[in-house]
Amino acid sequence: MEAPVNQPVSDTSQEIPTQEPDSQTVEQCINYLSRRDDTSRFVGLAMLSSLLTHIQDINVLTRCWKSLSPRFLDRLLKSGWYRSGLHLALRDVNKWSLSQKSPEEARDMVELAVHILHAFSTLLPDSAEEVSLVGRAPLLAEILPRCSTITQATILQTLLVFSTGRKGSGVILRIKDLSPLIKCSAEHEAAMQILQYSFVNSISEPLLLTDGLKRFLPSICEDMLAMDKAPRSRILSFLSDLLARFPPELLPSDTNWVKSAYAAIRVVITSGHNSHERSHCTKIVASLLHKYPPSLLFGPKALGKAPVNEEKPFVYFFIQLVLIDLRATFPALLEQLAAPSYESTAHRLASDFDVLAAFLGYLLTVEDFDDIPITPDLLLKLKADIGETFGLTLEFLRDRWDAGYAGAAGFEPGFEKDVPLSVTWETKLEGGIARDPLVIAAARALSLWLKEDESLREESGGLTDFFLGLWKKGKEDGVDHRFWILSSLEGTVEEDNGREQFLQYQGIDLLWADLKTICVDRNAGADDLQIAFDEARVLTQVVILGDKANEAWVKEVLAAVNIRGDSGMRLELDAAMARLASACLVKTSKAVRRRLKDDVQKVKEVCGRLFAMASGRMEDGGVIAELVGEAVEELDGM
């Protein structure tokens, strides 16, 4: 969202100056403002309020502000919130005192101070970076609840200007209690804009941002439960946008506010909602699931006791809404590919898939059926609906890839040489398909489901070119899709069609090049080592289920077998490489094995050392021993 331009926003400040005030009047005003007694300052302030909209010289405006005591303005803001006119305060200037005021005078002092601050915020250049001006923000926020609706609007317009600058947004985020702004959002949309700009403009200061989120998020989630439908919808929109902007590490580690957020979303979803509210709720949940344990939402007691009117478990109902949204949107989605609306639709459906992926991940990790908050009959119904949804997902990914690169399967750039490409069409999303949030989220969720659905694995074999092509495109564009693509390939290569396509589109070359690079990199991190381990596992599966292995490649694999470290993940990778080598040797002829006998002996020696090292490791020794054991068994069998 773009920050608002620092321009006048009220009717008063937008009046066209009729005549520049004479210098004598301005100097008299500045003289009054510069004095130390309250009476003179107040007279100067009253004069200034009528002069501000007519002063066009920025230097004069700056002098006026510099002559004004911020502390005096603070005292005016603290003076009270009552009714009546300013003329009572000016009736007898000589007897006027800030410490002796009627309720009517106090009310007008507040309004005068608010008016002055608003005028300077819109007239001074870079007012959002003026420390003495934006420093009034905490008090302006504090008095909001006790002001009239008109004064509230003026205060919010002032804070809105402050929120567009780095210093102004920082001051707003440091306000200890932001609840007045939240509660004002029921009548004033600007309240949410202020908070949004303040958080977004402070993203370069992670400590400030994290501290602000820690105080703000619990408050807004609690307040949302007590709000009517309209302001609640506005807050949902704000939260969905805010959470999507920030990386998970900036969110508070405390989970109590997350429970409040889920409770509020439950109320919205189960008490009647529109499509916009549902979309906002899904985006919020997706953002939270990236940071916090899925058990906070999907656990059997996570959301507390179910309301009386809740016929089916909320988790079941919510996942069904996600699935319905996906199935209802997919049929006409390709028609929108080049339309401006595709981006917002893609982000919405990506959130749907993120929620679905988190739910599937939770189901795969729970050990006790009692930890699943859905009855067996509903779970079976859900499984069928998920399968249907992923069937449509396969069709979409197939068409989406063809639309972007070929116009027909099998003619992707780089796979077939000297073949003219068909007419293609593509979305205007920056980064194309490799950065399409829907493609990424859909394929990530699909990779989890392929582990469980055998029939879908057979269908997904036709997407092997998509997976490998996306791997290459991601590498070219600096986007790492390897982890979940490997998870998908692990399922597809088990089927004949998927394995044939894997070989046809040079899948071995693609994975082996990456695996070899990571193997020899002694500084490879845990993520890369895990990816290399998965690559070795996929290649091993391809070799085991295939007919024969290429001798040149087998030589490379044997040469790469070694022990390159003593960390758990590094040793597991070394063991996986030994297992890949043994699988390759089984698929070679006796003549080839005789030619490679020295390399075979080296692999056996490495296996012996790995087995000895595994026996002394408690945590990860089992995985290493299992892989090495399989390799040794095959090598001895030859």
Question: Does residue 463 sit in the same domain as residue 527?
Answer: no
Q: Is residue 81 part of a domain?
A: yes
Per-residue pLDDT, averaged over 113-140, amounts to 94
In 3D, which of 313, 234, 225 has the Cα closest to residue 262? 225
Task: Enumerate the H helices of 588-620 as residue ranges.
Answer: 590-595, 597-615
pLDDT in the model for residue 622: 81
288 lies in some domain: no
Give domain status of residue 103, yes or no. yes
Residue 285 in any domain: the answer is: no
What's the mean pLDDT in 589-612? 89
Whether residue 55 lies inside any domain: the answer is: yes
> Do 447 and 380 share a structural domain?
yes
Token pair of 393, please?
Answer: 């997902």
Least confident of 171-175, 491-495, 572-576: 491-495
Tell me if residue 469 falls in helix, strand or coil. helix
Rounded CA gap, 242 and 237, in Å?
Answer: 9
**Distance (Å) of CA 9 to CA 12, 158, 159, 299, 465:** 8, 9, 12, 49, 56
pLDDT tens, residue by residue, 127-180? 999 999 999 999 999 999 988 899 999 999 999 999 999 999 999 999 999 989
**505, 523, 552: which is the final residue of a domain?**
505
User: Quick check: 9 pLDDT over 70?
Assistant: no
Full domain range(s) for residue 517: 508-638
What number of other Cβ atoms are within 10 A of residue 170's Cβ?
20
Give the pLDDT band of residue 90 (cuts 50, 70, 90).
very low
476 and 513, same domain (yes or no): no
291 — pLDDT class (breaks 50, 70, 90): very high
DSSP label at residue 335: G
In a domain, 63, yes or no: yes
- Based on the fold, state whether residues 250 and 394 are members of the same structural domain: no
Closest CA relative to residue 231, chosen from 272, 259, 189, 281: 189
Buried b (16+ CB within 10 A) or exposed e, 518-530: bbeeeebeeebbb
DSSP letters, 400-421, are HHHHHHTSSTT--TTTSTT-PP
Render pLDDT for 418-449 as a digit per residue (tens, 0 to 9): 544 444 455 566 667 888 999 999 999 999 99
Whole-number pLDDT of residue 101: 61
**Residue 57 shares a structural domain with residue 128:** yes
- Is 446 among the domain residues? yes
Site of tokens 């400030």:
208
Give how far Cα 559 sits from Cα of 160, 234, 576, Å. Answer: 65, 62, 14
Q: What is the pLDDT of residues 449-475, one digit of tens each?
A: 998 888 898 888 889 999 999 999 888
At residue 102 the predicted structure's pLDDT band, cuts being 50, 70 and 90, is low
Q: What are phi and psi of 130, to 5 degrees?
A: -85, 105
Q: What CATH number did the domain enclosing 126 receive?
A: 1.25.10
Q: Are 1 and 200 in contact (CB under 8 A)?
A: yes
Residue 303 has pLDDT above 80, yes or no: no
Neighbours of 432 (CB within 10 A): 15
Do 101 and 218 have their domain in common? Answer: no
Q: Is 401 found in the same domain as 550? A: no
Higher pLDDT, 414 or 20: 20
Cα 592 to Cα 585: distance, rounded to the nearest angstrom: 9
- Which pLDDT score, from 0 to 100, does residue 164 have? 95
More confident residue, 638 or 528: 528
Please answer whether residues 569 and 606 qualify as being in contact, where contact means their C-beta atoms are separated by less than 8 angstroms.
Answer: no
- Asked whether 151 and 145 are in contact (CB, 8 A), the reply is no
Query: What pTM, to 2 d.p., does this model score?
Result: 0.83
The domain tally of the chain equals: 4
Candidates 135, 129, 127, 197; CA nearest to 160 is 197
**Is residue 421 in some structural domain?**
yes
pLDDT of residue 406: 58
Angle between helices 149-162 and 190-201 (to 10 degrees): 20
For residues 329 and 443, state if they share a domain. Answer: yes
Which of 505, 537, 565 is the last residue in one of the domains?
A: 505
Query: b or e along 61-78 (b: 16 or more beta carbons within 10 Å of the residue's beta carbon)?
Result: bebbbebbbeebbbbbbe
Residues constituting the chain: 638
Please tell me whether residues 256 and 342 are part of one structural domain.
no
pLDDT band at 24 (very low <50, low <70, confident <90, very high): confident
Q: Packing angle between helix 23-34 and helix 38-51, nearest 10 degrees?
A: 150
Last residue of a domain, one of 471, 489, 505: 505
Rounded mean pLDDT, 288-294:
94
Structure-token match 């989630």, residue found: 221
Is the pLDDT at 344 greater than 70, yes or no? Answer: yes
Of 171-175, 254-258, 271-275, the range with the lowest mean pLDDT is: 271-275
Q: Specify the pLDDT at position 226.
A: 78
**Do both 212 and 191 map to the same domain?**
no
Whether 429 and 450 map to the same domain: the answer is: yes
Find the mean pLDDT for residues 51-62: 88
Tell me the percentage of the chain whose pLDDT exceeds 70.
87
Q: What is the pLDDT of residue 468?
A: 93
Domain co-membership, 477 together with 546? no
